[in-house]
Structure 1
Amino acid sequence: MPLVAGAVVQHEGDVLLIRRTISEGSLVWQFPAGKVDVGETPLEAAAREALEEAGVVVEPLAVIGERVHPVTERRVVYVACRWLSGAAGVASPREVSAAEWVTVDEMQARIPGGVYGPVWEYLAGPALPS
């Protein structure tokens, strides 16, 4: 099973979400994410995916947690990332149809089944300085 890295990016209290061009079952909105390439760490992959999918440059900070995603059944490593630059936008129209900064409450409403516990705890904690 390939490993996927998800970028959990906060900026000014909001969270970056992308909408896939082709949804994965009930999962339409999600964190920028993609397969970890050979020779790449999950932190590097999360930063690459944030840039490739949403045009946002981030600094990967730490792994928040890892699980087999209940919708996609992929092994996902969630990576806390600090926003450095870039406005959220569609950087890869083939893969992504929208990229938006949303409040934590809106994020919770857009992700079916709720947000993974350790990610929720991380986002509910003190905000990172921008």
Structure 2
Amino acid sequence: MTEQTEAEQPGIAAAIVVADNRVLMVRRRISEGQLSWQFPAGEIEAGESPEQAAVRETREEVGLAVSAVKLLGERVHPKSGRDMSYTGCTVVSGTAYVADTEELAELRWVALADIPEFVPYGLFGPVQEYLDSVLNP
């Protein structure tokens, strides 16, 4: 049996979903190190763009239909070591709920000023800049 190296692991696509002056955050049942609250996210499947994966993962995890606005940036996550992409999204239809009960414990719509309570180590710069521009305190 061989273990996947980090280079062989699929990238993770995160959806930065904004509605009603708040951003959607989810709490995983099993945290990844310090990562407890995060954005809806999951592995990019073969043939998918990061934006397509972010849209699909949002539907699967929280039952929302969203559209990708723009790819905000990519990096190797400093806490998980995984390749990450971040896509700004808007809600097309639906009401957010914990659709994937195996992966998620809860979700919250979070105001800009409250993000540090959920992500105390700070957000990826381009994500913070995007939220600063679309959310009004």
Please list, as runs of the form range in 1=range in 2, the aligned pairs for 1:91-106 lying within 5 A after superposition: 91-106=99-114
Please list, as runs of the form range in 1=range in 2, the aligned pairs for 1:1-130 lying within 5 A after superposition: 1=7, 2-127=10-135
Structure 2: where are the runs of 5+ without partners? 1-6
What are the Cα deviations for residues 39-95 of structure 1, in whole angstroms up to 9, with x where unaligned? 111111000111111111100121101111111111100001011122221000100
What is the deviation of 1:111?
Answer: 1.0
What is the deviation of 1:6?
Answer: 0.3
User: Would the aligned equivalents of 1:67 and 1:75 in 2 still touch at CA under 8 Å?
Assistant: yes
- Which protein has the larger Cα radius of gyration, Structure 1 or Structure 2? 2
What one-letter code is carried by the residue in structure 1 that aligns with 2:83? R
Indicate the SS of the match to 1:125. helix
Instruction: Give TM-score scaled by structure 1 length.
Output: 0.93
What is the deviation of 1:126?
Answer: 3.6
In angstroms, what is the RMSD of aligned CA positions? 1.1
Indicate the SS of the match to 1:28. strand
Sequence identity, in percent? Answer: 43
Corresponding residue of 2:3: none
Query: 4+ residue stretches of structure 1 with deviation over 6 A?
Result: none
Indicate the SS of the match to 2:66. strand
| Distance in 2 (alpha carbons) for counterparts of 1:11 and 1:96 | 20
Indicate the SS of the match to 1:34. strand
What one-letter code is carried by the residue in structure 2 that aligns with 1:81? C
User: Would the aligned equivalents of 1:54 and 1:91 in 2 still touch at CA under 8 Å?
Assistant: yes
How many residues matched? 127
